[in-house]
A and B are shown apart, each in its own frame.
Chain A
Amino acid sequence: MEWQTVIALVLGFLALVYAGWYFLRQMFHVEKKPECEDCPVPNQKEKKK
């Protein structure tokens, strides 16, 4: 297989995986503060457990 095809297929696969992960994450993970990149605040409910 030609080298360009191999690299393109790898890029395509990675893009597909990222897009799938992005869709799932968007639906089930809440980005509480988009501009906050490092906020390791423990959750109150987790504390209770």
Chain B
Amino acid sequence: MTPVSAMKKQTGEWVALMGNPNSGKTALFNLLTGLNQKVSNYPGITVERKMGRAVLNDQCQVQVLDLPGTYSLTPESFDERIVSEEILSWLHGPDRPRVLISVVDASNLERNLYLTSQLLDLNIPVIVALNMMDLVKQNGNPVAPKKLCEALGTAEVLHMSARKNWGVEELKEVIAQVINEPVHGKPDLPFALTGPVRSNLVHLTEFFKKEFGYSPRFSWAQALRIITRDSVLDGYLHSQVSGVNLDDKQVKELQELRDTSISKLKSQGIQPQTLEATLRYRWLDSVLKKAGKPKVEILDRSTTSEKADKILTHPFLGPVIFIGLLTFMFQSIFAWATVPMDWITRGFAIFGEWILDTLPAGILRDLLVEGIIGGVGAILIFLPQIMILVLFMTLLEDSGYMARVAFMLDRLMTKVGLHGRSVFPMMTGYACAIPGIMATRTIENWKERLVTILVLPLMSCSARLPVYALMIGAFIPHKKVLGLFDAQGLTLVIMYLMGTVTALVLAKIFSFFIHQKGQSSFIMEMPPYRLPLARSVIRQVILRSKLFVINAGKIIMAISIVLWFLVSFPKLEKTNENRNPIHHSYAGKIGHAIEPFIKPLGFDWKIGIGLITSFAAREVMVSTLATIYNVEAGGKDVVLLTEALQEDKDPQTGELLYSPLVALSLMVFFVYAAQCMATFAIVRNETNTWKWPFFMIFYMTALAYLASLCVYQGGQLLGFS
């Protein structure tokens, strides 16, 4: 037995969390490690490996690895391939987890234990965490852990609920105990391979034993698995994993053995694709019987979730309810945020006045008031709106409603060359394109995945919200349309819909030009409706707010400072009353140089500067305008940006510079423009080439320019100014 004190001194102790999608692995990971990984109520949230440190007791700490959800060790999609490659790296490398924690959705034991049965073949101690027991106990008849443990041959089985945060301390104790006293599974497969199955797999099994040194149990299991799908063979042929380096002879031998086994089994009337599933499910039936789980009866009454689905996924009512919810969400963003926005505005104004009163006149005072407080303050007032947007999105995801949206949109998605699974990444894109693009890993077909990646940045992310909100607040009147909708909220809905509809249209066009055979089908387990947990919702809202204030805030402040210098220098005296020295500043000169290109869109040099700086982050457009107006005003007070935009006049003609038409043109430009460097970097990473990010920049910029041109010029032709 390893003493606990000795174990603490060892470095590199780690355990792995594995389980089906949406079984609650990441919720458990967060509870074990204290980290804040995103969790939600739909499959496919985790698409990469994540690691954190868990303190099991006073003397024992371990690293916990959270892997993407997978239904089996036979990879179907990119995220499932991550799991199977990870397992190959354990078997072929020097480093393997001390314990596997198989997270099982206890409300769906049969299907979840399939993966557990495969994990038991790895000869690593397995602890089964029967998660979501709070839901199972409500319905009665929970399975007996001890009996299940004996029948499966695992190290331990325990009840828990990551949602309700119970059973986690017991799990920590069990992990520490199993690390100290490992309990390995049985040496042979728990189900017998006999007759033609055994005789046709024996050569493959010997190959695995001889070439890779696998245990007899895993050799048989892998022989059984490699004949089901090409993807298992690909794991060996194209693996990036250390240790899996087959020479040409081995590759040839493995392929030949596999082909021979498949053809012989087929000739004897055995379907290789379904063989492993048949054998394992048959065994699991007997396991559950031994564990005292009653056989599932076909229920003649609908569950509450099924009753709700009849309305919420109805072919006509479903989309109407969805659009209604979106409309309500965007209306609320304006209606509910007004008061806290006023508080923040007032707070920055008071702070600016205090600086003006405290510091003597000088460059630093001007920089603080005009650049930092003016620029950063102008953007931070949109924090309440972003918080409301995140709150709604999290509620929709955690309740399980988003999975229904994916189901409803699957047919439409397929028609435009996308996939039902594209819905989740695209909805994630409403918050930020980067995690959205990463989430496309759940799409197994490369063409569908690429098309989703290419159109995803058209979904209006939260960084665009400050630009929309600024323009709508300044130029769209606060009045009712059709006696029902608020004009400001409706304009925001239109902006979001424009991006979404354009994304679908372009997906259709792109799918004509990107060729790849085959189209994958969309099979998704519909999660039950759940009341979102306040803890989880608040955590998401705080996390996104922190990202906005701290991550975006840093670059916004840096650009505001740099811009202040560019707008304030060289210092010139006013030459005449109509021409502010700001026009002769470095920023003024740059802005006036690009003005001819953007004039047809209704934009002046100030917006031009904003278009350049907002490449760092879209929100920087707002702080840029605020800094320019504060410098122009001469630092007498902190300028209110909406008022400054409404009142700004052309120095030569004396006419108002901005109008609702210019505001619309600018918003449309931001719907389509490719102003996010981080997005290009992630597209480069996910597509492994610069071709697609450059294509994205080109098509989005061209689209933004043309759409904005049509809005402004078309509006003028129709008589709008």
Contacts and interface: CB of A to CB of B under 8 A. Distances in A.
A4 B368 CA distance: 11
B562 A16 contact: yes
Interface string B424-443: 00000000101100100000
Given A4-B365, A41-B49, A34 B681 contact: no
A4 B48 contact: no
B616 A22 contact: yes
Interface stretch (B30-38, B193-201, B513-521): B30-38
28 contacts: A2-B362, A2-B363, A4-B362, A5-B362, A8-B364, A11-B367, A12-B562, A12-B564, A16-B562, A18-B554, A19-B616, A23-B616, A26-B681, A29-B681, A30-B681, A30-B684, A32-B48, A33-B37, A33-B50, A34-B434, A35-B547, A36-B37, A38-B35, A39-B51, A40-B51, A41-B50, A44-B85, A44-B89
A30 B363 contact: no
B490 interface: no
Interface residues of B, number: 49
B362 A26 contact: no
B311 interface: no
The 7 A-B residue pairs whose C-beta atoms are closest, nearest first, are A4-B362, A15-B561, A4-B364, A26-B677, A15-B558, A8-B363, A18-B558
A40 B52 CA distance: 8
B616 A27 contact: no
Given A14-B558, A22-B554, A44-B89, 6 more contacts: A2-B363, A8-B364, A15-B561, A18-B558, A23-B677, A32-B48
Nearest to B36: A35
A6 to B, nearest CB: 9
B685 interface: yes
B543 interface: yes
Given A32-B438, A41-B49, A26 B38 contact: no
Nearest to A15: B561
B48 A33 contact: yes
B559 interface: yes
Nearest to A49: B242
Contacts of A19: 555, 558-559, 562, 616
A48 B85 CA distance: 12
A33 B45 CA distance: 12
Contacts of A14: 558
B682 interface: yes
B305 interface: no
B93 interface: yes
A4 B363 contact: yes
B99 to A, nearest CB: 18
Given A5-B364, A44-B240, A31 B438 contact: no
Contacts of A2: 362-363
Nearest to B546: A35
A34 B559 contact: no
A5 B363 contact: yes
Contacts of B359: 4
A32 to B, nearest CB: 6
B678 interface: yes
A28 B558 CA distance: 20
Contacts of A45: 240
A28 B555 CA distance: 17
Contacts of A48: 240-242
Interface string B645-665: 000000000000000000000
A47 B242 contact: yes
Contacts of A26: 616, 677-678, 681
Nearest to B362: A4
A40 B49 CA distance: 10
Given A19-B616, A35-B543, A30 B685 contact: yes
B561 A35 contact: no
Given A33-B48, A34-B551, A15 B364 contact: no
Contacts of A32: 48, 438, 685
Contacts of B554: 18, 22
A30 B89 CA distance: 24
Contact of A22 (B242, B435, B555): B555
B218 interface: no
Given A33-B435, A34-B435, A39-B51, A22 B89 contact: no
Contact of A33 (B365, B438, B559, B684): B438
Nearest to B46: A33
Nearest to B51: A41
A12 B565 contact: yes
Interface string B371-404: 0000000000000000000000000000000000
Nearest to A10: B364
A12 B677 CA distance: 23
A47 to B, nearest CB: 5
B87 to A, nearest CB: 12
B189 interface: no
Given A22-B555, A35-B38, A11 B561 contact: yes
A19 to B, nearest CB: 5
B694 to A, nearest CB: 12
Contacts of B241: 44, 47-48
A35 B547 CA distance: 8
